[in-house]
Structure 1
Amino acid sequence: MKAQMQKGFTLIELMIVVAIIGILAAIAIPQYQNYVAKSQVSRVMSESGALKTAVESCMLEGVSTTCTLGWSASNLLAGAAVTTGQTGLTVDIDTAGNTATIEATFGQNAAATLSGQKLAWYRGTTGAWRCGTDVDSKYRPTGCSSDLDAAEQEAEEGSEDGEGA
């Protein structure tokens, strides 16, 4: 008598494969969400940092309230702003004090863990720019302080190490 050959997979083999995929997904999805949030913080840091040149130009021209920044709207910011036309982005230029602040608030399409948190660039009287944010350290980009107030203070003190933009 001929032995019948098995065709396909048994139910237990399929259940094992599904369990393995489930375990891998349980590990991968949270890691992917962290990666997305960190990339969004880096994106906002770059987008808002690009405004430093426009702000410097306005300061050199002595313009503080009617400054044209050339900002393209970002879908990661939320809140209210008057000077930029972009919700979630405020720019404060003090030509008399020779200081400026660019502050972005996360919202809209940003990761839920970032919503309402801020990332800011501070320009001190010496022209040194410093970045500060209140987002969790696992999302914070390199070169951005963990404390908004500390970053503002560092900008005020100036750059002792030649770093400043």
Structure 2
Amino acid sequence: MSIKKRAQQGFTLIELMIVVAIIGILAAVALPAYQDYTTKSKVSEAAQLISVAKKNMVVAFNEGTLSATSDNTSLGLGAANTIQGKYVTSVTAAGTGATTGTITAVMRATGDTNVDGQSIVWLVTCVAGGSCNTTVSAAAPFPAKFLPKT
């Protein structure tokens, strides 16, 4: 009685099930991270669009023309609804005093309901003889993880 060795051909069912399980676990981790990454990149458009407003606000402070009545026009910007992008509806700049101002960007169509329609606000605070600092915030339900750094 001779037993011949057979070469294994293909994969067993258990091996295939293990591979499918591993792929499922990786997908479950990767998909939410990818969605967060794409939303954050869409929100970053707002930081790019407000950069001119921020620069003009700092220039107005240094020239002594920043005031509580400063707005897009006095800061040399277009109307709020003309400063827009694919994910930003408008950018509004407003002086709140001789050393402070706010810049507000309204988001749209990012695919995240916590972000769409929400406003991101940059507060520009200047110190005479010093520099200007910027802080960024947004009201709930806007997730803090999507806010630009400054």
> Smaller-chain TM-score range?
0.5 to 0.7
Higher strand share: 2
TM-score, structure 1 normalization: 0.59
Counterparts of 1:78-89 in structure 2, within 5 Å, are: 87-89=89-91
How far residue 20 of structure 1 moved from its aligned partner, in angstroms, is 1.0
Aligned length: 132
Partner of residue 36 from structure 1, selected from 35, 38, 42: 38
Q: Secondary structure in 1 aligned to 2:11?
A: coil
Q: Distance in 2 between matches of 1:111 and 1:37?
A: 7
How far residue 43 of structure 1 moved from its aligned partner, in angstroms, is 4.5
Partner of residue 21 from structure 2, selected from 19, 22, 27: 19
2:77 maps to 69
How far residue 92 of structure 1 moved from its aligned partner, in angstroms, is 2.4
Gaps of 5+ in 1: 78-86, 144-165
CA RMSD of aligned residues (A): 3.4
Q: Distance in 1 between matches of 2:125 and 2:148?
A: 21
Percent sequence identity over aligned pairs: 35
CA deviation vs aligned residue, 1:71-126 (integer Å, no higher than 9, x gap) = 8742221xxxxxxxxx33222247xx434321012212364432222221233474
Q: Secondary structure in 2 aligned to 1:6?
A: coil
Give the conservation status (yes or no) of the 8 Å contact 1:42–1:141.
yes
Residue type matched to 1:100 in 2?
Answer: G
The higher radius of gyration belongs to: 2
Give the conservation status (yes or no) of the 8 Å contact 1:123–1:130.
yes
1:92 maps to 94
CA deviation vs aligned residue, 1:43-88 (integer Å, no higher than 9, x gap) = 42344234211334466495852654378742221xxxxxxxxx33
Gaps of 5+ in 2: none
